[in-house]
């Protein structure tokens, strides 16, 4: 249980009311308190786990449909509160403070030591590395998803890892060009597919009364380029639709070019450049144009987005 290092009070969670009204009067909130005691704990670890917002937890609490709606709403809110504009308006942050904040959130040995001290930081880093190694094992997937589903997820991940020209050339004793064709023809879909993508696919197939040619439900369209296989969300009638999450793809309406993505560990501009290269690859190599749909665009007006997608698929190419 967290103990206030200023006055000795213990509670599952040290809130701002404690510091402002019950402590020594030195601090007004937890932020000021952590400025003097950087390693201090504010929330009990078990409480933090129980209070964390996850899709699984929301579904368990509110049911499948309402759980997904609440998860989408939570993600949309997080996408806004993680933007530079929000931090500037609420906290008066500068560009430098914003970028330093995002860099500090990345899981690195340097950040672990800065947060927990030399010894504890090194130990936590080692635990993190071991945990990451464990999450790539069959035991991990079986414990998380169950025997059958766990093996399926594990096999799909390893199948994706095998998607290299070198592996294909070695196994099939073929040329680089032949290896590219083998990779592009494999029936491998992306392991992690958003509920947003699934919803749009289901809605389009219901409205159009057809099975879309290439989706995660069948076989995603793939083009080899930039030294990797590139999979596309929806390809039908020689038209493509890419569905971008605001956070993972850094929606330009919410993030500026210098935003440092803590999970991708690169700037928004780098992410945009990769997306642009991927889209141009499909357009230039296969003459298939792409319509990009953003998560917030869909959440704000689902019917309008679905109609836009239908018109895109049905219109004749110029």
* Average pLDDT value for residue range 55-70: 79
Predicted pLDDT of residue 69: 77
> How many domains are contained in the chain?
1
In a domain, 202, yes or no: yes
The pair of structure tokens assigned to 304 is 């309008």
Q: Please, which pLDDT band fits residue 139 given cuts at 50, 70 and 90?
A: confident
What are the tens digits of pLDDT across the range 234-260? Answer: 999 999 999 999 988 999 998 999 888
- pLDDT at residue 62 tops 70: yes
Distance CA 200, CA 313 (A): 13
Among the listed residues 116, 39, 58, 79, the one whose alpha carbon sits nearest the alpha carbon of residue 249: 79
User: What's the 3-state SS for 153-209?
Assistant: HHHHHHHHHCCCHHHHHHHHCCCHHHHHHHHHHCCCCCCCCCHHHHHHHHHHHHHHC
Asked whether residue 101 is assigned to any structural domain, the reply reads no
pLDDT band at residue 159, thresholds of 50, 70 and 90?
low
Kindly indicate the confidence band of residue 215, based on its pLDDT and cuts at 50, 70 and 90: very high
pLDDT above 70 as % of the chain: 92
In this structure, what DSSP letter does residue 29 have? S
Is residue 113 within 8 A of residue 122, CB to CB? The reply is yes
102 vs 147, more confident = 147
What's the chain's length in residues? 318
Residue from 96, 120, 19, 18 nearest 259 by CA? 96
pLDDT higher than 90, residue 97: no
Query: Is it the case that residue 10 has pLDDT exceeding 80?
Result: yes
In a domain, 193, yes or no: yes
| 61 assigned to some structural domain | no
Angle between helices 195-208 and 302-314 (to 10 degrees): 60
pLDDT of residue 4: 92
CA–CA dist 63, 59 (Å, integer): 5
Chain centroid to Cα 194, Å, comes to 9
pLDDT at 12 exceeding the cut of 80: yes
pLDDT band per the 50, 70, 90 thresholds, residue 175: confident
Alpha-carbon distances, residue 288 vs 83, 222, 223, 242, 294 (angstroms): 33, 12, 11, 12, 19
Q: Is residue 102 within 8 Å of residue 84, measured between CB atoms?
A: no
Separation of CA 280 from chain center: 23
Full domain range(s) for residue 288: 189-314
Cα 42 to Cα 14, 86, 114, 191: the distances in Å are 5, 24, 17, 36
Mean pLDDT value across the chain: 83
27 located within any domain: no
Q: Helix %, strand %, coil % for the chain, to 5?
A: 60, 10, 30
Asked, for residue 81, whether it belongs to a domain, the answer is: no
97 located within any domain: no
Nearest Cα to Cα of residue 316 among 208, 206, 239: 239
Are β-strands 260-261 and 239-244 bridged in parallel, bridged antiparallel, or unpaired? Answer: unpaired
Q: Mean pLDDT, to the nearest integer, of 10-31? A: 86
Which of the residue ranges 76-80, 194-198, 210-214 would you say has the lowest mean pLDDT? 76-80
Establish if 239 belongs to a structural domain. Answer: yes
Contacts of 30 (CB under 8 A, 6+ apart): 14, 15, 16, 19, 42
pTM: 0.52
């Amino acid at each position: 249980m967290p103990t206030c290092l200023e006055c000795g009070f213990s509670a599952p969670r040290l809130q701002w009311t404690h510091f402002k009204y019950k402590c020594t009067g030195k601090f007004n909130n937890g932020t000021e308190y952590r400025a003097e005691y950087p390693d201090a704990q504010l929330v009990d670890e078990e409480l933090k786990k129980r209070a964390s917002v996850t899709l699984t937890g929301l579904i368990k609490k509110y049911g499948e449909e309402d759980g997904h709606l609440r998860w989408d709403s939570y993600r949309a809110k997080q996408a806004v509160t993680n933007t530079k504009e929000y931090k500037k308006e609420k906290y008066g942050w500068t560009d430098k403070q914003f970028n330093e904040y995002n860099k500090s959130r990345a899981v690195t040995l340097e950040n672990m030591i800065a947060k927990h001290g030399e010894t504890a930081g090194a130990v936590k880093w080692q635990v993190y590395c071991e945990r990451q190694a464990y999450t790539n094992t069959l035991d991990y997937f079986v414990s998380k998803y169950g025997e059958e589903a766990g093996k399926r997820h594990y096999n799909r991940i390893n199948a994706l890892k095998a998607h290299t020209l070198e592996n294909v050339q070695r196994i099939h004793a073929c040329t680089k060009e032949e290896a590219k064709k083998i990779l592009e023809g494999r029936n491998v879909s992306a392991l992690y597919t958003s509920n947003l993508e699934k919803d749009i696919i289901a809605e389009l197939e219901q409205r159009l009364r057809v099975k879309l040619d290439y989706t995660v439900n069948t076989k995603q369209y793939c083009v080899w380029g930039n030294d990797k296989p590139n999979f596309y969300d929806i390809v039908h009638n020689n038209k493509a639709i890419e569905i971008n999450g605001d956070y993972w793809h850094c929606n330009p309406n919410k993030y500026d070019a210098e935003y440092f993505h803590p999970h991708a560990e690169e700037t928004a501009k780098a992410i945009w450049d990769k997306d642009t290269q991927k889209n141009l690859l499909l357009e230039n190599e296969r003459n298939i144009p792409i319509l990009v749909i953003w998560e917030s665009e869909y959440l704000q007006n689902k019917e309008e987005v679905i109609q836009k997608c239908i018109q895109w698929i049905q219109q004749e190419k110029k």
